[in-house]
Each structure stands twice: as C-alpha cells, then as structure tokens.
Structure 1
Amino acid sequence: MSIAEVEQVLVVPTEKFHEIGQFQGFHDDVETYLNQLLTPEQMSFRPRDVMEKSPEFKQLIPYVIFEYKDDQGTQHVFQYVRGKGQGESRLHSKRSVGIGGHVSSEDAPDSDQDPFQQGMRRELEEEVSFHAPHEMVCAGLINDDESEVGRVHLGVVYLCKIERPEVMPNEEDILDAGFRPVGDLLAKLEEFETWSSICLKTIYG
C-alpha cells in the first residue's frame, strides 16, 4: 500500500486530554471536553496504522447508541455482535451497543465542514438504516486506558432516541442485531466489548 492510500484518521493529543482531565470510564461533562478538543488547533489527521500503536494520540470515535421506549415504558437498546469484517480485529465476536467508527480525512474535504459530525453521519449511513423520527443527544465521553484498544481511542457517546424500533444493519458483519430490553443486556455484560459494558452500566444501570 502506498503512503497516499493509508487511511488518515482524526486524532487529538493525549496530553491535551490529560490537561483537561483524565478519567477512566464514562464522563458526562461533554462541553468541557469537546469545546477544547474539537478545535482546529487540537484536531489532526494521521496514519491509522501508526496511531493504533501511538498512545501520544487519541483517535476520536463517534459511538451511537439507539434506544427505544415501548408503550409500557420499558427501555430497549439496539445491540449486535461484531463479525470478522468489522474494522477492529481486537473486538471481533464481541457484543456491542455502539454504532460508529474512525473519522477519516475524506469525511471533511472542505475546511468549513465539521469532520467529526460528517464522519459520524457517514458511519451511521454505512452500518445501519433507520427512518423513524429520532432525537440525537450527546451523552458523554468514554475512555478506557486499561485495555490495548482503549489507550489509543476516545469515544464520544450519542444516544439516538428513536420512536420505533426499526434499525436494520447494512453490513453482513453486523450479526444477531436487534433491540433488546435493557435489563436483559445488563444481565449479560460479560458478553459485551468494554465500551458497551461501561455505557450500559453508567447510562442504564
């Protein structure tokens, strides 16, 4: 693969994240972090293969959780199993509640575009289809420095509150997908990737 073909992903300096306030797990003070991280001074695009091994930077990952409340008031969350075609090999066969992925330099070719929002929209369009009325709310950030994957990533968690449980996977590697009652998911946290487990416990536990 030539240099030109290497995927360039959106990152921020880990040092800046620590300066604002390092945390382990989930943090709901969205504005404090994003107002300082999602700036032209802090954001840059760097080769993904290098960044996966570079703790000096955090790759910013949109992580969208679809939630639906039925007529009885029971909260349901969309979940699935990651197949081998999903990007991060270290997460294969894990159950997840998050839809999203890396933000690429191709997501915002014009300087007046917000690369993070553009990247999140692209990831959603690629991975799932949904048409029901919904509201998107930024719920917090997720950081896990205790795992190899987590040390080089920083998740931005969005809740997509959807009126009908109609979310369909667009990729064959999104397996066993569908909405499940939150109680059922909390009872099987050991099946989930770390970020999903943290989100389920913090937001719904």
Structure 2
Amino acid sequence: MDEMVLVVEDSDVDALLKGYGFIKIPLEEIKDLVEKRGFFVRRGKAEQDESLRQLIPYVVIKNKDGLYLMVRRLKAQTESRLHGFYSLGIGGHINDTDEGESPWLKFLSGMEREVNEEVDIETYDWPKYVGTIRENTTDVNKVHLGIVFTITTNIKGIKEKEKFTWELINSYDIMKRYEELESWSRLAFEAVEELKD
C-alpha cells in the first residue's frame, strides 16, 4: 500500500455533494473538484484517514446486446474487504504515475488504464459519465468516492483471471442476485438502468 493515490478532502466533497448514495452532478463540477482540490497521498494513509476520499473511476461495461459484465472478487484481489461480492464496476485507484500533467488528466488516463488492465474488450467510445457515489455505510465506503461511467462494447473476457470470475448477465438476473452485489454496484446499476428510459 505504498502507492500514491489521488484523493480530495472529505470536507470539499461535503461542500459539493448533498447527501449520500448515488448523486447526479454535472461532470464539469467533478472535474473542477479534482483539478483544483485533488492531490496524492500514500494509499496506506488514505485507507485509514476518513478526512480524505480516494477518487475511484467506476466503469459499468455492457455488450452490444445490453448484457452487463459482472465480476466476482476473489481472494487475490487487492481490496480484501470486498472479497466474494459481485461487482458491475471496473476501476481502481488513480496513481501519481498515471499519464497527464494535472490531477484530472491523470484521473482520465488512470480510468483508461484500469479498464484495459482488467478487461479484454474491443475498441470503445469514450466512457459516458453517469454520476457519483458517496456512501458511509462501511469502512471501505467512508474513504472512497466513486465516479461512475458506462461503456458499450464487445466484451471478450477478463484479463486478471486470478482476481475475478466473470459473466455476462441481463438486468433480470442481476435483480435476482441484488443482495450479493457490492453496494456501489447496486447504486450504479439503478442509475445506468434509468438511462435506458
């Protein structure tokens, strides 16, 4: 946990976002927050310091038939507090070594890196922004801020097979496993489903 990860002060998040759960806010306001208030600290500190929020791109991927990519986190996956849960979101921490001259450019290149590291997919259009997730329900949630995007592309599989199992699944079957989804995935699923209306 010695990597340097992108964070913002929780007080700055409080000033921008009202309430908890899934919050729809213009992307420009998120960009402004990251660009002006983002900085890097050691991940070990960030995981324990509830005055900070680690910025996490959370990308929901669907195939051309509308099926969702769902993964299950195995014990080899870094975040032990989420082992065994199903997830609809691909993403992770943004590092100071990610490309870009500013925190926001590093966020964008880090999001692209995370998707390409974890999933074997064909070329895709730039991810579509959906909204943000802020929760305080678990120790993990208290120190992370999810920024949700969605991609539609052809999905070939998962690259990190030692960390995840995967499947393509429709909305109906996701609802049958709803209680087994990590909390961010529940919120992201509901938000992405609303985009279809």
Q: Counterpart in 2 of 1:79?
A: 70
Q: Counterpart in 2 of 1:35?
A: 31
Larger Rg: 1
Q: State the shift of 1:190 in Å.
A: 0.8
User: Structure 1 residues 202, 131: closer, same or farther in 2, change over 3 A?
Assistant: closer
Partner AA of 1:182 in structure 2:
S
Partner AA of 1:194 in structure 2:
S
- In the alignment, is the contact (CA less than 8 A) between 1:30 and 1:141 conserved in 2? no
User: Structure 1 residues 112, 37: closer, same or farther in 2, change over 3 A?
Assistant: closer
TM-score for the superposition, normalised by structure 2? 0.90
* Structure-1 separation of matches of 2:139 and 2:76: 20
Q: State the shift of 1:204 in Å.
A: 2.1
* Identical pairs, percent: 30
Q: State the shift of 1:134 in Å.
A: 4.1
> What is the 5 A alignment of 1:124-163?
124-162=115-153
User: Structure 1 residues 47, 180: closer, same or farther in 2, change over 3 A?
Assistant: same
* Structure-1 separation of matches of 2:103 and 2:41: 19
Please, which runs of 5 or more residues in structure 1 have no aligned partner? Answer: none
With 120-129 and 132-141 compared, the bigger mean Cα shift is at 132-141
Partner AA of 2:166 in structure 1:
A
TM-score for the superposition, normalised by structure 1? 0.86
Q: Counterpart in 1 of 2:182?
A: 193
- In the alignment, is the contact (CA less than 8 A) between 1:82 and 1:173 conserved in 2? no
* Structure-2 separation of matches of 1:57 and 1:133: 32
* Structure-1 separation of matches of 2:14 and 2:104: 27
2:2 to 1, 6, 9: 6
Please, which runs of 5 or more residues in structure 2 have no aligned partner? Answer: none
